[in-house]
């Protein structure tokens, strides 16, 4: 769309919105006032500097663009993170505000700076304390790694997003939001999401991972080298972990779609399993189980990710030295390979082979459901159908 046309479309939309909301429309003098007095606001998009984001900000940007004075707008007017203050910011604000009226779920998010990200990461005491010696060693590729060494290492991996990465992720979230709006999905999303950039060296090179209810860590190499559609897929996958952690009922209902139930409490695994459990920041609890057929017998089992061999040299590949196993609920000393369960793939479905935990399997399915709906052909379409129906 030509810029002049975009300015006129946005201005018309904004003025209609102002009238709809019975807000006094801006006049010429207001605009001058906005430009002269607008100070830098901590709120993104707050172009008129009044401490809140509303349609007057879109109006201020649109009118500044029309008058050729957009360079006088404060830096926070760059709502879509593309490094420029222009009519596209007014359009993005207008779309966001319109979504608040019409959408059942609004994704709010921000980017953590490096300093902020380090602080947020290091506050995850429970996760750091859960890491066993083997997890510390594999993560730092060093024997006898101490918890303190690892914490320092983990903090050092946090980075600042570049302008182009922020603009790309803004588009990613906008497109996810469009899918949510278009399909009328309702997600139990309460918190503002925080994107944090990392090298992910402390998490075995993961593309993305989550902590707490709203921290989404994305690896620099992943967002620098992947296409937008793949990044979208991973962001929705990570969003699932945030929702699953913050809403136990949602988690329980979603796990059901891949045959898993949630126990009242977590199992007390014997030391040989506990010490070798491969830590995964996306999996906070090991309380889910499903029934599989092992040696012709139906057995309720936990699905866990286990380190098979202790760390010995930096060349040891974590992925090759770990695997998914089944542990029967009624005998925690037994472990079975996935291939020992004759109906493993019938139970969890065949849409993804990322099955290091039930949480990961359902997160992938959730991502397919949100982004593709039921129109794509799946090997296990009923899982996608159930998720879509649940979210409507
Ligand atoms: Zn995950």
Measure 241 CA to ligand 1 centroid, in angstroms: 7
What are the contacts of 383-388 at 24+ separation with CB within 8 A? 383/257, 383/258, 383/349, 383/351, 384/351, 386/257, 387/254, 387/257, 388/183
pLDDT tens digits along 221-249? 999 999 999 999 999 999 999 999 999 99
Measure 363 CA to ligand 1 centroid, in angstroms: 6
For the chain, count helices (H), then strands (E): 16, 10
Measure 251 CA to ligand 1 centroid, in angstroms: 14
Is the whole-model pTM more than 0.75? yes
Tokens coding 264: 């009242």
Measure 26 CA to ligand 1 centroid, in angstroms: 47
Average pLDDT over residues 106-129: 97
Average pLDDT over residues 318-345: 96
List the shell of residues around ion ligand 1, using CB closer than 5 Å.
282, 360, 363
Ordered alpha helix ranges (H), 210-313: 220-225, 228-246, 248-256, 271-274
Measure 27 CA to ligand 1 centroid, in angstroms: 50
Measure 237 CA to ligand 1 centroid, in angstroms: 6
The bridge status of strand 261-262 relative to strand 215-219 is: unpaired
pLDDT tens digits along 120-135? 999 999 999 999 999 9
Q: What are the structural domain ranges in the chain?
A: 3-102, 109-246, 254-391
Q: Does 16 score more than 70 pLDDT?
A: no
Measure 279 CA to ligand 1 centroid, in angstroms: 12
Measure 19 CA to ligand 1 centroid, in angstroms: 44
- Nearest Cα neighbor of 233 from 214, 252, 218, 250 is 218
Q: What is the CA radius of gyration of the chain?
A: 24
In this prediction, residue 111 carries a pLDDT of 97
Q: State how far the Cα of 181 lies from the Cα of 174, in Å rounded to an integer.
A: 10
């Amino acid at each position: 769309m030509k810029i002049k046309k975009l300015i006129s479309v946005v201005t018309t939309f904004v003025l209609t919105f102002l009238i709809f909301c019975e807000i006094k429309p801006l006049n010429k003098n207001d605009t001058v006032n906005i430009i002269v007095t607008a100070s830098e606001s901590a709120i993104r998009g707050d172009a008129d500097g009044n401490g809140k984001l509303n349609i007057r900000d879109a109006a201020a940007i649109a009118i500044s663009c029309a008058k050729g004075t957009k360079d006088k707008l404060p830096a926070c007017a760059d709502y879509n993170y593309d490094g420029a203050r222009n009519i596209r910011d007014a359009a993005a604000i207008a779309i966001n505000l319109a979504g608040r009226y019409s959408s059942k779920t609004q994704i709010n998010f921000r980017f953590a700076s490096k300093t902020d990200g380090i602080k947020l990461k290091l506050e995850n005491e429970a996760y750091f304390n859960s890491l066993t010696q083997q997890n510390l060693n594999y993560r730092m590729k060093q024997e006898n790694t101490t918890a303190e060494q690892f914490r320092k290492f983990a903090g050092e991996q946090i980075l600042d997003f570049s302008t182009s990465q922020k603009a790309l992720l803004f588009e990613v979230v906008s497109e996810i939001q469009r899918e949510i709006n278009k399909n009328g999905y309702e997600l139990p999303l309460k918190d503002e999401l925080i994107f944090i950039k990392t090298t992910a060296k402390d998490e075995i090179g993961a593309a993305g991972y989550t902590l707490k209810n709203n921290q989404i860590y994305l690896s620099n190499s992943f967002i620098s080298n992947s296409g937008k559609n793949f990044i979208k897929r991973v962001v929705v996958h990570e969003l699932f972990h945030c929702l699953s952690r913050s809403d136990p009922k949602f988690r329980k209902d979603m796990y059901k779609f891949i045959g898993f139930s949630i126990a009242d409490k977590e199992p007390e695994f014997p030391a040989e399993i506990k010490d070798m459990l491969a830590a995964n920041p996306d999996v906070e609890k090991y309380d889910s189980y499903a029934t599989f057929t092992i040696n012709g017998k139906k057995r309720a089992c936990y699905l866990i990710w286990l380190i098979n061999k202790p760390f010995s040299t930096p060349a040891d590949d974590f992925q090759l030295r770990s695997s998914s196993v089944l542990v029967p609920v009624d005998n925690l000393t037994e472990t079975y390979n996935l291939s020992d369960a004759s109906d493993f793939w019938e139970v969890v479905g065949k849409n993804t082979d990322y099955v290091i935990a039930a949480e990961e399997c359902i997160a992938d399915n959730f991502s397919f459901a949100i982004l593709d709906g039921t129109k794509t052909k799946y090997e296990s379409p009923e899982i996608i159908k159930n998720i879509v129906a649940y979210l409507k």
